[in-house]
Structure 1
Amino acid sequence: MIRRFRALLPAAAILLTGTVALPAAADDSATAGPAVVRPVSGISPLAAGCGLPPADGYTLNSNTEVLPMLARDPNRPQHLVTVYQQDRWNRYGSNGAVTATSDDYGLTWQQSTNLPAFSQCNGGTSANGGDYAVTTDNWVTVTPSGAAVAASLSMSRAGDVTAILVARSGDGGRTWDAPSTLQRDDNPQFFNDRPTVTADPYHPGVVYAVWDRIDSTDAGWVQPIYLAKSTDDGRTWTTSKVYDVPNNSGVIGTQLVPLPDGTLLIGMHHETDTEGATQVIRSTDGGATWSAPTLNVPAPLAVGPRIPDPDNSGDPVRNASLPLLAAQPGTQVVNATWQSQEADGTFHVAYSRSADGGQTWSTPIRLDKTPTGSAAVPAVAASKTGTVAVTYYDFRNNTTDPATLPTDMWAVTCSSNCAKASAWREQHIEGPFDARKVPLTSVGRLLGDYTGLVSVGNAFTAVYGVSTGDAANPVDVHSAIFTG
């Protein structure tokens, strides 16, 4: 079954691979040269000794930051908000989640004054609704009013209590209100998983959250989609199950994307006990009913074969990347990317494009330019002008030393004819760094199940995790700005 358990402080220097020139005005016209990389996290800001102590089977990776997500203000593209996991356990998430903001497209970052109370280490208590041992699968969006809304899967250490929480920041991520609980289950028969949250840019005040909820019984299991909707800019919410599945099947990695005509799309990964697929479904009535999948292509199991280790060292990279969608603002053009698998077992970046609001899709193509081996953890963003960017990691610079796994971050971009693989050009973002230093989980090294990527006018900003080579601070989150 699919069931899955699953870090930004200002730093001293900019690591330059080029130059950058970003306007201060919010005119959606950011420009940049080659990638500019900014370290934006460091030593953990969580209180020393917070959270549960290590125990049998539980190892804490202190001062590690993983799984960053990124959002931009739709009316002020220079204002960005990121959230990531802080101090990752080898199992079941992290001690806390950290949020930070940037007012210069990602060149500099400021940690939020307080953190969303998604866990005890984040200040969660029974009184404010955040009394959970760990938080994971964090996501963030910014509404047209400039408010930020972040989401969390918060749970007990063992995962027998799970909850989907959202927290609102009326000042764009600088300070956070107490969280709201969208769904909580104390019965281990149920497991809530992998929320995402999306502000509707065309209907101010409307915000959506979607996630899956596993129901396991002696008769089998199902993993349907739940949706929560806010019509008051993330202050209050209503929750309902909106998409059911046959017995012994389910979805994960749900992400909702609104379109200008009111159509809603959900991209997702669907599985049975033996097969996986990337799918997109549509709603034209505000989420009350949903179509059969309009995109439905084979994909590897969500926590199935691990990404092949180039060194055959027995220390593989976790395979848990899930589909992502990016719509070109103001249009019916939607871009989808996901992780595919070749016959030789290697993983790659698949892409398809819809020009009619998700009704039909182009033939999937492979985007990554990786010469040998696998590419992993794709993310996608689209600009107002139609330029599309996709980022990913790969291991093309690996050496013969099996004790290390040199890993790089890359981007491919396209401005026209994007349904053709030849239209995409690749650029190097950062690396190599040693992926054998990122957190070890029960299903491999955690490069990330996702990374963050947004359009900032004529450029893109990415946030992603890298290992540092410093045993006291093994993994940081970096941001990079690059052109299309």
Structure 2
Amino acid sequence: MAALAAAAFTCIVTAQSALADGTDPAVVTPITGESPLAADCGLPEGDGYVLNPDTEVQPMVAADPKRPGRLVAVYQQDRWSKYGGNGTGVVLSDDNGATWKRSANQPAFSRCDGGKYDVTTDHWVTMTPSGTALAAAFSLSRTGEETAIVVSRSGDGGEHWEAPVTLGHDDDPRYFNDRPAITADPYHPGTVYAVWDRVDTQPSGEWVQPVYLAKSTDDGRTWTSRKVYDFPANSGAIGTELVPMADGTLLIGMHQETNTSAATQVIRSTDGGETWSEPTLDVPAPFAVGVKIPDPDDSGDPVRNATLPLLAAQPDGKVVNAVWQSQDADGTFHAAYARSTDSGKTWSKPVNVDKTPTGSAAVPAIAVAPGGTVAITYYDFRNNTSAATLPTDFWAVTCTTDCTKPGSWRERHIEGPFDARKVPPTSVGRLLGDYTGLVASNSAFVAVYGVATGDADNPVDLHSATFYK
């Protein structure tokens, strides 16, 4: 397939005039197009595995604290119908998301990018105070019997990537490493954390899914890894994310499950991650990961739902914000929000902050600006009709004060509608993404997300949107 040129992509402005509420419109930019990967670089199709070439999903984005305006986004390239994609994509922006270019090479997380694993997924990216970019991924054999958490380092801010370092690895199908997140500590230069969960299925059929943590103190060159938080039998966590606070507190947000229950939780450490508290945020969830978002058309063609809690800390303070998917009594999903003003000791009462009038709001992401403005993005289906299509829009809400009150959030339309029925199906529904990227950069927010193009030969592209409070 033809690779996109390294030159910057053309910027598309959605509107020139202010919106009805006086806010500026979002500036939307296409990031991806045709895949740079050879069509035959991975394993052949078969046994239920169908390749979706030219499909990019699940982006994550980070801002460079050393170079204002520099952004790095990573994502999954050429998604399979099961278990991840053939490769990793990396794009860079030096103008706050107005234009983007590909990196010179990609992290070798899979065989299509020069690595050892069949497929790769669940990419995450962070940037350290020195301007080093670090990308993490979950790489595995296509059968899922071999799993690994891997990290690649870029000393030049995302342009060139070093050979991956393995943080966790198992080739015994009893164990399953899953969903990493990587975070640079802005208050301790050189310190970086990665967290993930690891399923341990016992011969008896019981299981446990503890939290693992890897730490680097040399800007991601070397790492130490260990289990830091365990659970009783038949329970565990998925979707862990670590956030450092200015006072030295570390927080981990996660989705916790048992055989019969689920919850959104946050745990905290005040000794550098050596020990961890019982959950300080513990909100029951009526659904397990994988419960599908209700199909607005009741067509039997649902949207995949594996969205997990996300945290965003206000810089240089004790305020931290949490967002996750809640579920109402009617089965619809929404963007639930809570805030802590004491580094995660206590939390406000959760509230739904999306403005979706009917149906579900899906895949919420969160970021906070240095001044305290909070932004949350999400997809919804409010413009759905009775036709066989599934019109889907991408939205943002922002809040500057009284964010624990739903009325304090102001919504803006970012893009859409596009037809989510044109997103290639997976074994667990149409994959809009388990998460999207959202970051505060300079005085703006930049979102990176997937949209269906309507082109069967290039079904899903990533776009970025720059918007202001």
Q: Which band: TM-score by shorter chain?
A: over 0.9
2:82 maps to 91
Whether the aligned pair in 2 keeps the contact of 1:118 and 1:135 (CA below 8 Å) is: yes
Whether the aligned pair in 1 keeps the contact of 2:9 and 2:100 (CA below 8 Å) is: no
Give the superposed CA RMSD.
Answer: 1.5
Letter in 1 for 2:65: P
Whether the aligned pair in 2 keeps the contact of 1:263 and 1:283 (CA below 8 Å) is: yes
1:18 aligns with 2:4: no
Deviations 1:324-378 (A, max 9, x none): 0000011110000000001001011100000000000000000110000000000
1:436 aligns to what SS in structure 2?
helix
Which of 272, 287, 291 aligns to 1:286? It is: 272
1:334 aligns with 2:334: no
Structure 2 gap ranges (5+): 18-22
1:182 aligns with 2:167: yes
Deviations 1:168-202 (A, max 9, x none): 00000000000000011010000000000000000
1:325 aligns with 2:311: yes
Cα shift at 1:440 = 1.0
Distance in structure 2 (CA, Å) of the matches to 1:11 and 1:88: 24
Distance in structure 1 (CA, Å) of the matches to 2:329 and 2:101: 45
What TM-score comes out, normalization by structure 2 length?
Answer: 0.96
Distance in structure 1 (CA, Å) of the matches to 2:384 and 2:310: 27
Distance in structure 1 (CA, Å) of the matches to 2:167 and 2:202: 23
Letter in 2 for 1:265: L
Which of 408, 412, 419 aligns to 2:397? It is: 412
Alignment of 1:36-185 (within 5 A): 36-124=27-115, 131-185=116-170
Q: Number of residue pairs matched?
A: 461
Distance in structure 1 (CA, Å) of the matches to 2:291 and 2:172: 30
1:209 aligns to what SS in structure 2?
strand
Letter in 2 for 1:295: L
Letter in 2 for 1:100: V
1:127 maps to none
Percentage of pairs with the same residue: 69
Letter in 2 for 1:385: G
Cα shift at 1:307 = 0.5
Whether the aligned pair in 1 keeps the contact of 2:69 and 2:442 (CA below 8 Å) is: no
Distance in structure 2 (CA, Å) of the matches to 1:135 and 1:152: 7
Cα shift at 1:11 = 7.2
Deviations 1:79-124 (A, max 9, x none): 1000000000010000001111110011111101010000000111
1:254 aligns with 2:245: no
**Structure 1 residues 8 and 233: alpha-carbon distance in aligned structure 2, compared to 1, 3 A threshold:** farther
2:437 maps to 452
Whether the aligned pair in 1 keeps the contact of 2:55 and 2:79 (CA below 8 Å) is: yes
**Structure 1 residues 167 and 414: alpha-carbon distance in aligned structure 2, compared to 1, 3 A threshold:** same
Deviations 1:378-415 (A, max 9, x none): 0000000000000000000111102x100000000000
Distance in structure 2 (CA, Å) of the matches to 1:15 and 1:305: 36
Alignment of 1:293-308 (within 5 A): 293-308=279-294
2:20 maps to none
1:212 maps to 197
1:384 aligns with 2:370: yes
2:421 aligns to what SS in structure 1?
helix
Distance in structure 2 (CA, Å) of the matches to 1:451 and 1:294: 26
Whether the aligned pair in 2 keeps the contact of 1:11 and 1:41 (CA below 8 Å) is: no
1:195 maps to 180
Q: Which moved more, 1:302-311 or 1:189-198?
A: 302-311
Distance in structure 1 (CA, Å) of the matches to 2:288 and 2:338: 19
1:267 maps to 253
Deviations 1:21-73 (A, max 9, x none): xxxxxxxxxxx931010000010011231000101210101100000000001
Whether the aligned pair in 1 keeps the contact of 2:9 and 2:31 (CA below 8 Å) is: no
Structure 1 gap ranges (5+): 1-6, 21-31, 125-130
Whether the aligned pair in 1 keeps the contact of 2:56 and 2:75 (CA below 8 Å) is: yes
What TM-score comes out, normalization by structure 1 length?
Answer: 0.93
2:300 maps to 314
Whether the aligned pair in 1 keeps the contact of 2:241 and 2:253 (CA below 8 Å) is: yes
